[in-house]
Amino acid sequence: MTVQPNSVEARDQAYQLHSYTNARALERDGALVIERGEGVHVYDNNGKQYIEAMSGLWSVAVGFGEKRLVEAATRQMSKLPYYHTFTGRTHGPSVDLAEKLIQMAPVPMSKVHFTNSGSEANDTALKMIWYRSNALGKPEKKKIISRIKGYHGVTIASASLTGLPNNHRSFDLPLAGIFHTTCPHYRVFAQENETEEAFVARCAQDLEDLILREGPETVAAFIGEPVMGAGGVIVPPAGYWEAIQTVLRKYDILLIADEVICGFGRTGEMFGTQTFGLQPDIMTLSKQLSSSYQPISALLINEKVYEPLADESAKIGTFGHGYTASGHPVAAAVALENLAIIEERDLVGNARTLSPLFLKRLKALESHPIAIEARGVGLIGALELKPRDGFALGQLGPKFAALMLEKGVIGRAIGDSIALCPPLIIDEHQIGTIFDTFEASLDAFQAQLESA
């Protein structure tokens, strides 16, 4: 597109370095400026309407322009715009939200520690585990196992936990002591003639072999998303999580459930932990916690994790960790109101009710000549495009996502997969519009490819 001098686009090019963006391509093409949002729609600065079928970044559960969240922020801003939770200080919103999250937890949890993003939450989980191991007199028990294609953030530690190459390349990552085991994507990683059941058994065996190779006494924790989001919406096969947890229990290894994307209704249950039968020791939460109206995240830790931390803080004199905005009163107030809306409007039930339609329409696209696989659960899904001669791996997805964008639907290209994760307020008609547009885009893209 042509970027006009002194426009928002031109000033953006001049002054801002974007996340997950080819900086040179942005200099050439400019950015899409989103100016406002309402419900499941957002509007650019030329007035064009889009269905935001990715909920921003997997996160705007209650939709855009929710006045109750604006009012909650305004009330709290007027009363106490900021205070901290360092050195024994606290305030009502952080206490209320911590209590609410413990009550909502799908497994027994003891305490909540607030952070500001999913990356910070997972980074803090790693620090807590190291601190805990030292408290238990097991300084060698520090290694963490993640998974190939897992996504856990972009700080130095959380990017190391992430199992995606572009989060490591040129950053000198991952850190030592972090390992990645088999991704549970059956179609891609199954061996020839291997059944799903055999594949699950091999995933568990691969994990056990890694633990034994490193030494069980050195492995502290395993981290995983119930459904892998940024790795391509990878839904684990039946029995996968049961098999993985059997191995972890055998070697006394903690389980961290990264619920940053799955939490608060995305899978058709309040937490992905419930959908897949997890029993985590730590849960990390963000995104739909506040529908991303405010930056906030949280770690829930059980007694097994908390008690050694508390003992060590008494020994040292402090738990020497925290962020200026941990439990920020405005963010906490907005999160509380957001959770109230999710419950009052039964948005988890809406996800559960509409999931069969969403998944049926998604699955139908799998038969398209340029598609290879549809994957999904609840209201999260992805369609993967077939490899094609003349295109490197990962080139088709962005081109197709751009075509969908032109037609008024925002999805997200993850390699050659197109992900969908609409707001939980979505209705049947809007789901129909998304998939009608998706199908029309597939037809148009096929015609483009064949005429090239």
* pLDDT classification of 1: cutoffs 50, 70, 90: low
Whether residue 22 is predicted with pLDDT greater than 90 in this model: the reply is yes
Helix axes 329-344, 92-104, angle to 10 degrees: 40
CA-nearest of 45, 56, 48 to 10 is 45
**CA dist., res. 400 & res. 225, Å (int):** 27
Region class of 44: left (phi > 0), else alpha (psi between -120 and 50), else beta: beta
Check residue 190 and give its pLDDT: 97
Check residue 381 and give its pLDDT: 98
3-state secondary structure of 131: helix
pLDDT, tens digit, for every residue of 281-336? 999 999 999 999 999 999 999 999 999 999 999 999 999 999 999 999 999 999 99
pLDDT, tens digit, for every residue of 246-272? 999 999 999 999 999 999 999 999 999
- ∠ CA(357), CA(360), CA(362), 5° rounding? 110
pLDDT, tens digit, for every residue of 117-173? 999 999 999 999 999 999 999 999 999 999 999 999 999 999 999 999 999 999 999
Rounded to a whole number, what is the distance in angstroms from the first to the last CA of the chain?
Answer: 22
Residue 101: burial class (beta carbons within 10 Å; 0-12, 13-18, 19+): buried
**CA dist., res. 19 & res. 260, Å (int):** 18
CA-nearest of 53, 375, 363 to 236 is 375
If you search the block for the tokens 């990390």, which residue do you land on?
Answer: 284
Instruction: Write phi, then psi, for 116 (nearest 5 degrees).
Output: -120, -10
Estimate to the nearest angstrom the gap between the alpha carbon of 185 and the chain centroid.
Answer: 17
CA-nearest of 426, 268, 275 to 355 is 268
**CA dist., res. 361 & res. 439, Å (int):** 9
3-state secondary structure of 35: strand
Helix axes 303-316, 118-135, angle to 10 degrees: 70
Whether residue 413 is predicted with pLDDT greater than 80 in this model: the reply is yes
CA distance to 28, 43, 210, 251, 440, per residue, from 178 (Å): 38, 42, 11, 17, 43
**CA dist., res. 75 & res. 91, Å (int):** 15
- The token duo for 76 is 């709290």
- The token duo for 80 is 């106490």
pLDDT, tens digit, for every residue of 353-399? 999 999 999 999 999 999 999 999 999 999 999 999 989 999 999 99
Are 264 and 286 in contact, with CB atoms under 8 Å apart?
Answer: no
pLDDT, tens digit, for every residue of 32-41? 999 999 999 9
Check residue 4 and give its pLDDT: 82
Estimate to the nearest angstrom the gap between the alpha carbon of 145 and the chain centroid.
Answer: 18
Q: Which CATH class is domain 69-344?
A: alpha beta
CA-nearest of 300, 298, 283 to 224 is 283
Q: Domain spans of the chain?
A: 32-62+346-451, 69-344
User: 3-class secondary structure for 56-94?
Assistant: HHHCCCCCECCHHHHHHHHHHHHHCCCCCCCCCCCCHHH
The whole-chain average pLDDT of the chain stands at 97
Answer CATH for 32-62+346-451 from 1.10.760.10, 3.10.20.30, 1.10.10.10, 3.90.1150.10:
3.90.1150.10
* DSSP letter, residue 113: E
**Residues 200-229, mean pLDDT to the nearest whole number:** 98
